[in-house]
C-alpha cells in the first residue's frame, strides 16, 4: 500500500526553529523541569537502548516512506584516525599586472576560483589552490602583479609575490606574448635569478601562429625556452604542465607535515575592514595578507596553514561582504561567490565583528550565512583593546538585541593589531568543532525526549495532542535530528525541544538541524 502524500509529510525545523528571531515564541512550561539531567543520569545505557528498541519496533504500526529506512539504519561507528603526510610541492605563478596569471590559474585548476576582471590589480594576495596533472598533486599559488619601485598597496602586493617565490618549489613566470618583454619583466627576471628556483617562462595570450614573432624574442631573457600558451582558450597548457611537474620535487620543501585528510578548515568572514587580514597576519606571524586602510583589499580567499594551540589549522581569509549578493557587481560579485564557496568548504566559521561600530544588519546577515551553510561558529570581537566602558555598555545591549539567536556560539574578544587574546581562539574552535561532530546515541536521545515530554507534554490543539513516536540522529557536521511524530509540533514547542537539547548535551558552537516526519497509523485491512 502506498501512503498518500498527506501521510508522509516531513517538516524541516533545523536552523529556522532555533535561529530565526521572527519565529513564534518558544513554549514556556508553567514550572521548568530542573531535574531532567538527574533523571537521565539514573537511566543506564542498557535501559535507554531497550526503550529505544521498543519505540523503534512500534514504528512498524505506522506508514513509513522508503526514505525513512536510510534515516533509521545509520552507522554510529567512530571516524578513523587520519595519519600525517608530507605536503605536496608548491608552484608559484608570478608576473607583472594584467598578463593573465589568474586566468592561467583557473585553466590549470579547471575552475573559476581565482577572481578575474579585465582591469589590472584584481589579485593582491598570494592565493593557494589544490591542483593535479597526470596523477601529480601540487599546490598552485596565484600572486598579485609584481612591479618595480612600487609604493603603498602595490608595494605590499609585490612583496607578497616575492614571498610566494621564496616558499615555492618551482615558478611559472608569465609575460604578455603579444607585447614581448618589458622593463618590468626584465626586473622580474633579475629577482628570480636571486631566488635560484626552477623557472618556466610562459608567453600568454598567444592565440594564433602570427603571434609567435614576439615569443621568439623572449629567449633573450635567458630563462630558456618560452612556452606559448593561451590561458583563455587552453592551448599550450598541456606542454607547460608536463614541464612543470618534472621540475617539481616529490614533496614541498617548506610544507612540513599535514593530516592526510587536511587540517581543520577555518573561514574568516565579516564586513570589509573589520580586521580579518590583520588577524590572519598576526596568527601567521608574518605579513601573509595585504592589509590596507582601504576597505575591500582582499578579493580572493587566502589560505594559510597556522600553528595554533599545538595544532595545525587551515585558515581562509575571505573578501569582506559589504552588501547583498544581488546588489554586488563585477569582481565584488565573484569575490562574494568565492566567500560562500570558502564557507562551504570550511568546517568552522569565525565571524569577525568590530567593536568600534554598532552591530549592523550586514553583520547579522553574514552570521546567518555562516549558520545556513551548516558550519560550526565562533564570533570574534576585534579591536577590543580600543573599547571604553561606554561602548562596552552599548555593545552588550546590541548583542542581546541582535545576536540572541546565536547565543550558543563561543565568543572571543581579540585585538588583531596586537595579538591580544589570540590564544583564546584555539579552545573556542575546538569546542565548536567538537559540538559540530557530536553524536547522541539513539537510546540516550529517546530517553531524553521521553523524560522531557512526560514532564511537559505538548499542548492539546483542536482536541488532539501530537506525540513523538521515535527520534534518531542520522548525521553530524552539523548534528541533524529526525523526530517521527503523529502530528505537527507547534513551532514554539520545537524551539523548546531544541533549547533543552542544547542544554542537556552541550552543542556549544554548532547549529542544530531538527526535522519532523509526520506518520499515520496503518489502516487495518
Q: Which residues pair with 483 in a beta bridge?
A: 471, 516
Angle at 152 between CA 146 and CA 158, to 5 degrees: 20
> DSSP state, 485?
E
Residue 262, annotated as binding a ligand: no
Q: Is 30 annotated as a binding residue?
A: no
User: Is residue 29 part of an annotated ligand binding site?
Assistant: no
C-alpha neighbours within 13 Å on the C-beta side of residue 407: 14
CA angle 78, 80, 84 (to 5 degrees): 150
Is residue 345 a known part of a binding site? no
Measured distance CA(144)–CA(28) in Å, rounded? 56
Question: Is 229 assigned a ligand-binding role in the annotation?
Answer: no
Going through 345-436 in order, the beta strands assigned E by DSSP cover: 348-354, 376-382, 411-413
Check the annotation: does 141 bind a ligand.
no
321 is in an annotated binding site: yes
What's the Cα-to-Cα distance from 50 to each of 36, 266, 440, rounded to whole Å? 19, 40, 16
Is 15 marked as a binding-site residue?
no
Length of the chain: 525
**Strands 376-382 and 348-354, how do they pair?**
parallel
Q: Is 383 annotated as a binding residue?
A: yes
On whether 100 is known to bind a ligand per the annotation, the reply is yes
DSSP state of 263: P
Helices (H), 20-173: 36-42, 45-58, 68-72, 101-109, 152-167
Q: What b/e sequence results for 30-48 when a residue is b if at least 16 CB atoms lie within 10 Å of its CB, and e otherwise?
A: eeeeeebeebbeebeeeeb
Going 321 to 322 to 327 to 333, the CA torsion angle's sign is negative
Block residue for cell numbers 492539546: 460
**145 marked ligand binding residue:** yes
Does the annotation place 274 within a ligand binding site? yes
Q: Does 382 count as an annotated binding residue?
A: yes
Q: Is 521 annotated as a binding residue?
A: no
> Residue 146's beta-bridge partner residues?
none
Residue 275 annotated as binding site: yes
Residue 225: C-alpha distances to residues 216, 246, 428 (Å): 9, 15, 52
Residue 239 is assigned to a ligand binding site? no
CA distances from 99 to 145, 149, 183, 335, 458 (A): 8, 19, 14, 20, 66
Residue 95 labeled ligand binder:
yes
Name the residue among 178, 180, 148, 176 with its Cα closest to residue 162.
148
397 forms beta bridges with none
Dist. CA 50–CA 273, nearest whole Å = 55
Which residues are CB-contacts of 523 (< 8 A; sequence separation ≥ 6)? Answer: 1
Q: Does the annotation list 6 as a binding residue?
A: no
Q: Was 360 annotated as part of a binding site? A: no
- CA–CA separation, 131 and 188 (whole Å): 25
- Name the grid cell of 485: 511524530
Query: Is 118 annotated among the ligand-binding residues?
Result: no
Phi and psi angles of residue 338, each rounded to the nearest 5 degrees, phi first: -70, -30
The cell for 481 is 535530528
185 is in an annotated binding site: no
152 annotated among ligand-binding-site residues = no
Q: Does 506 appear as a known binding residue?
A: no
**437 annotated among ligand-binding-site residues:** no
146 annotated as ligand-binding: yes
- State yes or no: 487 annotated in a binding site: no
Binding residues: 95-102, 142-146, 204-207, 270-277, 317-321, 382-385
Binding residues for GTP: 95-102, 142-146, 204-207, 270-277, 317-321, 382-385
Amino acid at each position: 500500500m502506498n501512503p498518500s502524500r498527506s501521510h508522509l509529510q516531513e517538516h524541516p525545523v533545523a536552523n529556522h526553529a532555533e535561529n530565526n528571531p521572527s519565529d513564534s515564541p518558544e513554549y514556556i512550561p508553567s514550572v521548568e523541569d530542573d531535574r531532567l539531567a538527574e533523571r537521565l543520569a539514573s537511566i543506564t545505557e542498557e535501559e535507554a537502548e531497550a526503550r529505544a528498541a521498543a519505540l523503534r519496533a512500534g514504528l512498524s504500526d505506522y506508514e513509513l516512506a522508503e526514505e525513512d529506512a536510510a534515516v533509521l539504519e545509520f552507522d554510529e561507528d567512530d571516524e578513523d584516525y587520519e595519519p600525517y603526510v608530507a605536503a605536496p610541492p608548491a608552484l608559484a605563478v608570478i608576473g607583472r599586472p594584467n598578463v593573465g596569471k589568474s586566468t592561467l590559474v583557473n585553466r590549470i585548476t579547471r575552475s573559476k576560483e581565482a577572481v578575474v576582471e579585465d582591469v589590472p590589480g584584481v589579485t593582491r594576495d598570494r592565493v593557494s589552490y589544490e591542483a593535479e596533472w597526470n596523477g601529480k598533486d601540487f599546490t598552485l599559488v596565484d600572486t598579485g602583479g609584481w612591479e618595480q619601485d612600487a609604493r603603498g598597496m602595490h608595494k605590499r602586493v609585490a612583496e607578497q609575490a616575492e614571498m610566494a617565490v621564496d616558499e615555492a618549489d618551482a615558478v611559472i613566470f608569465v609575460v604578455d606574448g603579444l607585447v614581448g618583454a618589458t622593463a618590468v619583466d626584465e626586473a622580474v627576471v633579475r629577482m628570480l635569478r636571486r631566488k635560484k628556483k626552477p623557472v618556466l617562462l610562459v608567453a600568454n595570450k598567444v592565440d594564433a601562429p602570427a603571434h609567435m614573432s614576439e615569443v621568439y624574442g623572449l629567449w633573450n631573457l635567458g630563462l630558456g625556452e618560452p612556452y606559448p600558451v593561451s590561458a583563455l582558450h587552453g592551448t599550450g597548457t598541456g606542454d607547460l604542465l608536463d614541464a612543470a611537474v618534472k621540475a617539481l620535487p616529490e614533496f614541498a620543501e617548506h610544507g612540513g607535515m599535514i593530516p592526510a585528510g587536511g587540517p581543520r578548515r577555518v573561514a574568516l568572514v565579516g564586513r570589509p575592514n573589520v580586521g580579518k587580514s590583520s588577524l590572519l597576519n598576526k596568527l601567521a606571524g608574518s605579513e601573509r595578507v595585504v592589509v590596507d586602510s582601504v576597505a575591500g583589499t582582499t578579493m580572493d580567499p587566502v589560505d594559510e596553514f597556522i600553528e595554533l594551540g599545538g595544532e595545525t589549522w587551515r585558515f581562509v581569509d575571505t573578501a569582506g561582504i559589504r552588501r547583498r549578493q544581488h546588489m554586488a557587481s563585477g569582481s565584488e560579485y565573484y569575490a562574494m561567490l568565492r566567500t560562500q564557496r570558502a564557507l562551504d568548504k570550511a568546517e568552522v566559521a569565525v565571524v569577525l565583528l568590530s567593536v568600534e561600530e554598532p552591530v549592523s544588519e550586514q553583520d547579522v546577515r553574514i552570521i546567518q550565512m555562516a549558520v545556513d551553510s551548516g558550519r560550526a561558529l565562533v564570533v570574534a570581537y576585534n579591536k577590543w583593546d580600543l573599547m571604553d566602558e561606554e561602548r562596552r555598555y552599548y555593545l552588550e545591549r546590541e548583542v542581546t538585541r541582535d545576536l540572541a539567536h546565536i547565543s550558543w556560539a563561543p565568543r572571543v574578544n581579540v585585538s588583531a593589531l596586537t595579538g591580544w587574546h589570540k590564544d583564546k581562539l584555539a579552545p573556542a574552535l575546538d569546542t565548536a568543532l567538537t559540538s559540530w561532530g557530536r553524536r547522541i546515541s539513539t537510546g540516550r536521545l529517546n530517553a531524553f525526549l521521553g523524560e522531557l515530554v512526560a514532564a511537559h507534554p505538548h499542548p492539546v490543539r483542536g482536541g488532539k495532542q501530537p506525540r513523538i513516536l521515535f527520534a534518531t540522529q542520522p548525521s553530524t557536521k552539523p548534528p541533524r535530528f529526525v523526530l517521527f511524530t503523529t502530528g505537527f509540533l507547534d513551532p514554539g514547542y520545537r524551539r523548546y525541544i531544541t533549547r533543552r537539547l542544547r542544554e542537556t548535551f552541550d552543542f556549544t558552537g554548532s547549529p542544530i538541524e531538527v526535522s519532523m516526519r509526520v506518520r499515520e497509523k496503518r489502516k487495518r485491512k
